[in-house]
Amino acid sequence: MNAGVDVEAGTVGVRMPKHIAIVMDGNGRWAQAKHLPRTAGHHAGSKAVRRTVEYCAQQGVEVLSLFAFSSENWRRPKEEVEILMRLFMTTLKQEVKRLNENKVRLLFIGDRGAFSQALQDKIKESEQLTGENTGMTLIIAANYGGRWDICQAAERLIQQAVANNDGHLKVTEALFEDSLATAGIADPDLFIRTGGEKRISNFMLWQMAYTEFFNSAVLWPDFNEDYLREAIFAYQNRQRRFGHTGEQIESAQNNTKNEL
Ligand code: IPE
Ligand code: IPE
Ligand code: MG
């Protein structure tokens, strides 16, 4: 038969990405270009978040992951960090009710212990309120780092090994994935970075091993449905090979077509 080739993954043309992950970059430059303080860019960026969430939910995207604050972003000026934290809190207060009405399930990944107690409580409350929702899963990565995620997964596995009587644990990729902050969530199919930089900046390092990258020069506050459509279209025209040859993927696709 198809010698283990994942036909679905290789299909070109119509498939929607099930999981889209976005590094929302360029808020500061957007504001500076308008001679505004950087924080004005973060406020404008929160509107782009709303547009993106709504569009993805309408399009049937199953999971949308947004990088909101990295484990390295604490290095920014104190005032900017404070404003970002305040914006995080007010956005949650304003948006969670509507997200819940739209059946969105909210998940937060990252080391939340560094946030104020009030913010931690709000995060927990939002997750509890939306936890049973069956619509799109919206993952907010806050104080998240890919390296942090890998370390905390390793720590959990060590604890499991210690709990085993003989102290032994066979670490497989599947077991490791179950210990990551994204346990139970399929890896991103499409990774979008706005703002033009061509780097991962410590986002989902493990999870993006085979994710398709789309780089956009558009600054995050200007990001909208048209740009998102462009990214999805680019994704739909990629051939995902996962180590196979292009010929293997094509012949698997032809076999499937013939079988239909
Ligand atoms: C992304 O925009 C938002 C966060 C990192 C919180 P930036 O603030 O990094 O914007 P630029 O890259 O300085 O333009
Ligand atoms: C990545 O953007 C983090 C977020 C979008 C939250 P940065 O602006 O922090 O990335 P670098 O520092 O340019 O790599
Ligand atoms: Mg940036």
- Domains in the chain, ordered, with CATH? 19-146+187-259 (3.40.1180.10)
234: Cβ contacts below 8 Å, ≥ 6 apart: 214
Q: Determine the distance separating the centroid of ligand 2 and the alpha carbon of 78, expressed in angstroms.
A: 16
Tell me what pLDDT residue 25 has.
Answer: 98
CA distance 20 to 33: 28
CA distance 99 to 170: 40
Of 4-8, 82-86, 236-240, 247-251, the least confident:
4-8
CA distance 148 to 146: 5
Tens-digit pLDDT profile for residues 85-103: 999 999 999 999 999 999 9
Is residue 45 pLDDT above 70, yes or no? yes
pTM equals 0.94
252 lines ligand 2 (CB under 6 A): no
* Mean pLDDT across 36-62: 97
Residue 26 confidence class, pLDDT cut points 50, 70, 90: very high
Backbone angles phi, psi at 53, to 5 degrees: -60, -45
258 noted as active-site residue: no
Helices 38-58 + 78-101 axis angle, to 10: 20
193 lines ligand 1 (CB under 6 A): no
Query: Distance between terminal CA atoms of the chain?
Result: 14
143 noted as active-site residue: no
Q: Using the atom order of ligand 1, give the atom closest to the CA of residue 42.
A: 3
The single residue listed with the structure tokens 């950087």 is 38
